[in-house]
Amino acid sequence: MLRIMTDAAADIPAATAKELNIEILPFMIYLGDKTICADRDFTPEEYYDLLRQTDEIPTTCQMSPADVESVYRRLGADGDSIIHVTISSNGSGIYNTSCLVAEQLKEEGFDITVVDSRMFAYVIGYPVVTAAQMAAEGKSKEEILTFLHMCYTRDTAYFVVDDLTFLKKGGRIKATTMAISTMLDIKPILNINGGLVEAYRKVRGLKKAMSVLVQYAQERMESPEKNTVYILHSDAEDKVEILSKMVEEKVKPAEIKVMKIGPIITSHAGLGLVGIYFPHQKPYTDYENK
């Protein structure tokens, strides 16, 4: 049997993880005097409420090597193979920690492959969900790893956030991007590139910024009539409504799904983030920055 595992940063809904038998490794969040186990203590909505009530900037902490080892031993106790997909190694040390633990357990006969998604939020989660479905269908480990590699090198998310303070404080965005945000009514279009969040383009005004997100889907999406556009957000329902209508009218995908960004990524991106994620026709790095 093949077990699929990821971490709380993948933003996979709890019901989906349970249905597909996906193991979710938690993270810890420190907010003022509160210690929070991400995705266990709060739903995304409850965490948004908590952030609105404080001026504190949260910090996150990965699980210890002992925690990771305990999960690996439990999942692999009956000889099952494990694929563990992690948040970007540029955003957390959990990938390196997991690789070290997996290598140590290899000597005992455990079969563990750790995959660095180099992504964040449901850009990690969607391929993991599909990988779990493939495993349930009896697909081989090699087939699933090939699929994961394809997704994480081909697709990215483009998004807009009003306040870059959280991203800068957590070191998830290049310092030069902060300078852009101080300019009058300039909204940076951000994307995930090489495992980091960076400024991709700058436009004037929020409505224009969202129209650019839709433009990227129009120009870059693989077979819209067969595929899904995911709209990702952290407490930005008003923006989601506008963006959803624009996508429906201009892209006409088979489906639009709205996914809430969970406590881990919200801790670094802040509230009010809205983004768009879809299967690309070719690797996102092949497209011009325009």
CA–CA dist 150, 144 (Å, integer): 10
Q: Does domain 157-286 have CATH number 3.40.640.10?
A: no
pLDDT tens across 1-21, in order? 899 999 999 999 999 999 999
Instruction: Provide the H-helix boundaries in the chain.
Output: 14-20, 44-52, 65-75, 94-106, 122-136, 141-154, 165-169, 175-181, 206-220, 237-250, 263-269
Q: What is the pLDDT along the chain (290 residues), one digit of tens a residue?
A: 899 999 999 999 999 999 999 999 999 999 988 899 987 888 899 999 999 898 888 989 999 999 999 999 999 999 999 999 999 999 899 999 999 999 999 999 999 999 999 999 999 999 999 999 999 999 999 999 999 999 999 999 999 987 666 666 555 555 555 555 555 577 889 999 999 988 898 888 889 999 999 999 999 999 999 999 999 999 999 999 999 999 999 999 999 999 999 999 998 888 999 999 999 999 999 998 77
Q: At what angle do helices 94-106 and 65-75 cross, to 10 degrees?
A: 50
Q: Give the per-residue pLDDT at 141.
A: 97
CA angle 279, 280, 281 (to 5 degrees): 125
Distances (CA, A) of 195 to 68, 85, 126: 22, 14, 17
Q: Give the per-residue pLDDT at 163.
A: 67
CA–CA dist 226, 214 (Å, integer): 17
pLDDT tens across 86-102, in order? 999 998 999 999 999 99
Domain 2-27+62-153 sits in CATH at 3.40.50.10440
Q: Give the per-residue pLDDT at 178.
A: 53
pLDDT tens across 176-196, in order? 555 555 555 778 899 999 999
Q: Give the per-residue pLDDT at 40.
A: 80
Domain ranges of the chain: 2-27+62-153, 157-286
3-state secondary structure of 21: coil
